[in-house]
Structure 1
Amino acid sequence: MAISVFDLFSIGIGPSSSHTVGPMRAARMFVGRLKKDGLLSGTVRVRAELFGSLGATGHGHGTPKAVLLGLEGHSPRTVDVESADGEVERIRSTKRLRLLGAEIGSAHEIDFDEAGELILHRRRALPYHANGMTLFAYDAAGTPLLEKTYYSVGGGFVVDEDAVAGENPIVPDDTVLTHPFRTGDELLRLAQDTGLSISALMLENEKAWRTEDEIRTGLLEIWQVMQGCVSRGTSREGILPGGLKVRRRAAHSARQLRSEGDAAARAMEWTTLYAMAVNEENAAGGRVVTAPTNGAAGIIPAVLHYYINFV
């Protein structure tokens, strides 16, 4: 099976790839399907039901917020994290939802009362996966227009009921790579046999999907998001959302480390701090790189910052 680095590392928002990124993508897929099938203009009511882990822990993971933003057409990759809370507050205060409102020329506004239309089932689960959600659309007469079930299976990946039922099954990417491998041992052996570094070898494989310019541009964008995440995390203070009243620590720790002088002598403390900064931004719903999950999002930025700053 072939997998691209851009599948492993994707730009999204916190705090959870499975509870935030996946549900936002699923909700956006649903309204996109309404538009594709010519049903959007006739939709007057939408309902979302969350099951299993999404229903049980959704409030703490920001899942309702993600679903609302997804229904308005926002993508985890591009949503403005600074204005997202304001957008959700507008929906809740006006009880109006702009389906696909984030897409120019596609907005369709409907009444939406979150209390009755966004249901979190704390003790009910769907059969395929713990992170399941079903969305419904109705016309003015209450006739169902569309019903779709989606599963957020981790890392921000979403599959729908057709894939689960085998009607539209998920198949492995069969792209032929220049240097295919399945294990770490095989990768090391390829590097030795070809004389290529691991990064050079992986670049050759990535060219199966994109040009070298596209690859380098995409990787630099990922790196810029990682840098921005560390910068925000080491400068912002306050209480993290979620109801547990956890205070941010990274900014205070950064001030302490700066005051102690020689940064190189405390390189490992800085590296830990970089990871903490990303984790706090993730918990706050900020923009992060899912690498390869939001829970692990701090590790690679921390190592890269260590290399840039101390090596």
Structure 2
Amino acid sequence: MLKEAIKTSIFDLFKIGPGPSSSHTIGPMKAAYDFLQRANLMTDLTDNQQVMIHLYGSLSATGKGHGTDRAVIAGLLGWLPETCDPNEFTTLLKNEDDIYLIKIQEKQISIHAKNIVFEKGRYDSPHPNTLVFKLLSDHKIILEEEYYSVGGGFIQRKGENLQAQNDKTPTFEFSTMKEFKEHLLKNKMTLTDLMIANEMSLTGLSRRAIYQKIDDVLEAMNKAVKRGLRHKGILPGTIKLRRKAPILYNQAKSLASASDSFMIFLNAYCMAASEENAAGSIVVTAPTSGASGVIPGIFFLLRNHYHYDKQKLREGMLAAAAVGFLIKHNASISGAEMGCMGEIGSASAMAAAMLSYCAGKSIETVEAAAEIAIEHHLGMTCDPIGGYVQIPCIERNAMGAIKAYNAYLLASSGNTAHQKISLDSVIKVMRATGKDMSKKYKETSQAGLALSATEC
């Protein structure tokens, strides 16, 4: 095996937390929390302490609209994404003069908006989502840590190898779809068996515990869709965008016998979860918060229209996770690295795999569906208006789900043995495309649609 095996847990990929952005909200909150823990290991601190946070690249360009400033305050207060109250979270920094007290070694340090610096200059960093935390004592830096928010709520600390940190070895090592399929053939096993075996070896959880945690993730998705179908009104931010999911849902119900009601229902489900994300409510990174409407929308459709049972839906999530692992490992799920190809493109591919696997299709069809979905998102820009995860993000979730469904239909319609492009190949193309794409189109709001509606 030339490349290191994937050691990502399903529950690292599917994380429950507040919107609107996994890379700009969840990641920075986790980085701030990690810095707080490290600061608490310091000794001989004086009473004259200060914490400064410097945001670079995409975090600086669109951090205000994505709540990055609130996220770092939350993390320094000791909050974590999976347990924080979203209502309390959205009240942070409502007023720029608000002061918060954080505690380091029983010493209270005041922090406010001026402690967060949105750096506009160039910064030599390996990732466009970079944060630097500094603890100063008597105006001298006594602790400095640099973090990268690499997409989907994953973070890396400078000088740290996350793969090397995990000393657990998956039972069936793979880094490509080719290797994944070789395991299935050699051991005469299913995708479900392989994914569960690896999750058990990486986390130490039992099969029953893994299924329970998948159920928890699915229930969080279910709640996000249901809330979004109920909630009406204007989303937070200066765009003043009105929620559309409840309108679509009522329209679909009134056209229940019409041929296109199916797509209207799916659009409503995806936009419901995505609008909840934009409002800062609790969603599931799938694989990111910006793409948190695609898989939940597909799941809601499969459960309530196809009436798949709990086990079938669990297995569909495992298929989605397998594709998500491959993309994250060999390209990226970060909008700041890949554009929206990395977020909606990845989610669409994962959803196409989920649809195929739930329908009982072969692993070749699952692969073909995921490949088709990525292929038709190649080069997609990430250009949110005003830095808010609203336009074009919310509608884009619905479009990603529709493409996923069509990818599933196309993959199911012929002999996949003659598929010309493999999933591994298209992921390589995805990575190259992301590298070649101008940074203006990768979550900076400096080009594209972000400039086409400046009146917003």
State the shift of 1:189 in Å.
5.0
- Once residues 140 and 268 of structure 2 are traced to their aligned partners in structure 1, the CA distance between those partners, rounded to angstroms, is 54
Higher helix share: 2
> What does residue 18 of structure 1 align with?
23
* Structure 2 residue ranges without an equivalent (≥5): 307-456
Q: Does 1:282 align with 2:287?
A: no
- Once residues 132 and 198 of structure 2 are traced to their aligned partners in structure 1, the CA distance between those partners, rounded to angstroms, is 37
> Larger relative CO (CA 8 A, sep 6+): 1 or 2?
1
- 1:227 to 1:263, Cα distance in 2 relative to 1, 3 A: farther
- Once residues 20 and 41 of structure 2 are traced to their aligned partners in structure 1, the CA distance between those partners, rounded to angstroms, is 30
Q: Counterpart of 1:294 in 2: which secondary structure?
A: coil
- Once residues 252 and 244 of structure 1 are traced to their aligned partners in structure 2, the CA distance between those partners, rounded to angstroms, is 19
Higher strand share: 1
CA contact (8 A) 1:56 1:123 kept: no
Q: Which amino acid aligns with 1:117?
A: N
Deviation per residue, 1:223-280 (Å, 9 max, x gap): 1111111111111122222322221111222222233345997333212221111111
- Once residues 43 and 226 of structure 2 are traced to their aligned partners in structure 1, the CA distance between those partners, rounded to angstroms, is 44
> What does residue 109 of structure 1 align with?
108
Q: Does 1:296 align with 2:300?
A: no
> What does residue 50 of structure 1 align with?
55
The one of 158, 170, 177 equivalent to 1:161 is 158
> What does residue 97 of structure 1 align with?
101
CA contact (8 A) 2:20 2:278 kept: yes
The one of 130, 134, 137 equivalent to 1:136 is 134
Q: Which amino acid aligns with 1:230?
A: V
Q: Does 1:232 align with 2:223?
A: no
State the shift of 1:204 in Å.
2.2
> What does residue 184 of structure 1 align with?
177
- 1:177 to 1:29, Cα distance in 2 relative to 1, 3 A: closer
- Once residues 264 and 40 of structure 1 are traced to their aligned partners in structure 2, the CA distance between those partners, rounded to angstroms, is 69
- Once residues 251 and 230 of structure 2 are traced to their aligned partners in structure 1, the CA distance between those partners, rounded to angstroms, is 12
Per the normalisation by structure 2, the TM-score is 0.60
Q: Which amino acid aligns with 2:163?
A: V
Kindly report which structure 2 residues correspond to 1:245-264, keeping only aligned pairs within 5 A, or say none: 245-262=240-257
Aligned residues: 298
Identity over aligned pairs, percent: 35
Kindly report which structure 2 residues correspond to 1:197-212, keeping only aligned pairs within 5 A, or say none: 197-208=190-201, 209=203, 210-212=205-207
Q: Counterpart of 1:231 in 2: which secondary structure?
A: helix
Q: Does 1:171 align with 2:163?
A: yes
- Once the two structures are overlaid, the 10-residue window that deviates more, 217-226 or 253-262, is 253-262
- 1:191 to 1:34, Cα distance in 2 relative to 1, 3 A: same
Q: Counterpart of 1:218 in 2: which secondary structure?
A: helix
State the shift of 1:107 in Å.
6.8
- 1:111 to 1:207, Cα distance in 2 relative to 1, 3 A: closer
Q: Which amino acid aligns with 1:29?
A: D
State the shift of 1:288 in Å.
1.2
Q: Counterpart of 2:163 in 1: which secondary structure?
A: coil
CA contact (8 A) 1:15 1:284 kept: yes
Deviation per residue, 1:109-137 (Å, 9 max, x gap): 333231x3111012332422111111112
> What does residue 166 of structure 1 align with?
none
- Once residues 57 and 208 of structure 2 are traced to their aligned partners in structure 1, the CA distance between those partners, rounded to angstroms, is 42
- Once residues 230 and 108 of structure 1 are traced to their aligned partners in structure 2, the CA distance between those partners, rounded to angstroms, is 42
State the shift of 1:78 in Å.
1.2
Per the normalisation by structure 1, the TM-score is 0.85
Say what the alpha-carbon RMSD is for the aligned residues: 2.6
- Once residues 178 and 159 of structure 1 are traced to their aligned partners in structure 2, the CA distance between those partners, rounded to angstroms, is 25
- 1:124 to 1:39, Cα distance in 2 relative to 1, 3 A: farther
- Once residues 191 and 263 of structure 1 are traced to their aligned partners in structure 2, the CA distance between those partners, rounded to angstroms, is 42
> What does residue 33 of structure 2 align with?
28
- 1:8 to 1:83, Cα distance in 2 relative to 1, 3 A: same
State the shift of 1:30 in Å.
0.9
CA contact (8 A) 1:98 1:107 kept: no
CA contact (8 A) 2:233 2:243 kept: yes
CA contact (8 A) 1:264 1:310 kept: no
- Once residues 128 and 182 of structure 1 are traced to their aligned partners in structure 2, the CA distance between those partners, rounded to angstroms, is 22
- Once residues 185 and 27 of structure 1 are traced to their aligned partners in structure 2, the CA distance between those partners, rounded to angstroms, is 38
